[in-house]
Amino acid sequence: MKRRTLALPIAALGALALLISGCSGGSGSGSESGDPNAEFEFWSFTGIGQKDSVDRYLEKNPDAKVKLSEVGSTTETATALTAALAGGRVPDLVMIQNDDLPKFVENPGNFVDLRTLGGDDIGDGYLDWAIDGATAEDGSLIGIPTDVGGLAFAYRADLFEKAGLPTDPAEVAQMWSTWDDFIAMGQQYTEATGEPFIDNVETSVFFSTVNQVSQKYYTPEGELIYDTNPEVEEAFDVAVRAYEAGISADIPAWSSGWAPGKANGAFAVTTAPSWILSGLKNDAPDTEGKWRIASIPGVGGNWGGSVIAIPARAENKEAAWQYIETMLSPEGQTEHFATTGTFPAAEDALESDEVKSYTDPFYGDSPIGQIMSDSVLNFQSFYNGPDTSAIGAALLNALVDMQAGNIAPEDAWQQGLDSAKAAIGG
């Protein structure tokens, strides 16, 4: 049976080159230490609060020693790991975003099969689709999920009120329960205020719709179908229709205008996977209490998530495994969520009162924990192949070009397909 993995969109619009010398100090081949308190090197992404997790780990295990290297973006970290696995110095523990996971899972011999450290039932406590994403064809498990990215929308309740729209999260979710309803609600807002409804259509619409399909860019057997799958074309078309409805501010995520737009009301709605909530607070601190969180239209969704893996040539496997056992338990993931907003992949954590009852004054009385839990529990998994990220980037960039006025809406889908074909060389 083919493994099924979560297909997740890229968090940035391009890949940056990384000098491997910037990651020096990782482990290499040589004698392995079985000491669980030996110093181990941990490669992580930047901006996800991993230092907080390491600090809490050291509080729990005062004799432990961790050398945390925040390599860079998710793409930069994957680039560094690829080079290290090809013969460079590997870390003892490394974080891999789910976007980049398929290509590493294709070569499971580069990693420790974590079943050899934790037993055949090691993955039973996590969301099936999250653990499947780290499972190779031969059954080996190369990583343990650190988190998932429960998907929701953040909206400005004060701006909704001025437009005569409901402000309660449950009422808002009901009003935009389908994507057609969402577009119609956006038109109502724009007509009432003269302002855009959403920040952009590529991340706030396409990334959501394309991850609500039963099959995405591949069949469950691994056959490429991105160019013939009507579900993908329909997801793309929803984004095009949102653009043609005139409800988008055409401000790309992570562009120079995105953070100011959150603060100055340039748009009223933006995508809000769980990991982005803290960033919104940092970008627009003076809007505290004005934002709310509501479910997205459709059947829930997910954007984000990663695993932690131990390279096969790591010197301090036992120390790295002790960290995984301690911090990726349901209790550890619940603690990390409360501190950083990274959403648990452990099912017991998702069902816990601590997660389900979670709220944040910045987002009013929004039931954030419940909304995010429902989102990932209702999420449909599908096969994610090695070129999923490249295909998704090509389709996304076609929508960016459309919003920039470089291509006509009716030509955007074909340009996306042509770009995807060129990107994957087929």
Sheet containing 144-150, strands listed edge to edge, beginning at the edge strand earlier in sequence: 66-72, 40-45, 93-97, 302-309, 144-150
pLDDT of 381 reads: 80
Report the C-alpha gap between 417 and 225 in whole angstroms. Answer: 11
- Give the H or E element holding residue 320: helix 317-327
pLDDT of 33 reads: 56
Report the C-alpha gap between 196 and 267 in whole angstroms. Answer: 5
pLDDT of 329 reads: 87
- Domains of the chain in start order, with CATH, are 20-148+304-361 (3.40.190.10), 153-302+368-424 (3.40.190.10)
Count other C-beta atoms under 10 Å from residue 22's C-beta: 12
Compute and round to an integer the Cα radius of gyration of the chain: 21
Q: Which residues contact 381 (CB under 8 A, 6 or more apart)?
A: 4, 5, 6, 128, 129, 132
pLDDT of the chain along its 426 residues, tens only?
A: 333 333 333 333 333 222 223 333 344 333 455 888 899 999 999 877 788 889 999 999 999 999 999 999 888 999 999 999 999 899 999 999 988 898 899 999 999 999 999 888 888 889 998 999 899 999 999 999 999 988 899 999 999 999 999 999 999 999 999 999 999 999 999 999 999 999 999 999 999 999 899 899 999 888 999 999 999 999 999 999 999 999 999 999 989 999 999 999 999 999 998 888 888 999 999 999 999 999 999 988 888 889 999 999 999 999 999 999 999 988 888 887 877 778 899 998 998 898 999 999 999 989 999 999 999 888 878 888 889 889 999 999 999 999 999 999 999 999 999 999 999 987
Residue with tokens 């969402």: 182
Q: Which two tokens stand for residue 73?
A: 């973006």
pTM, 2 dp:
0.85
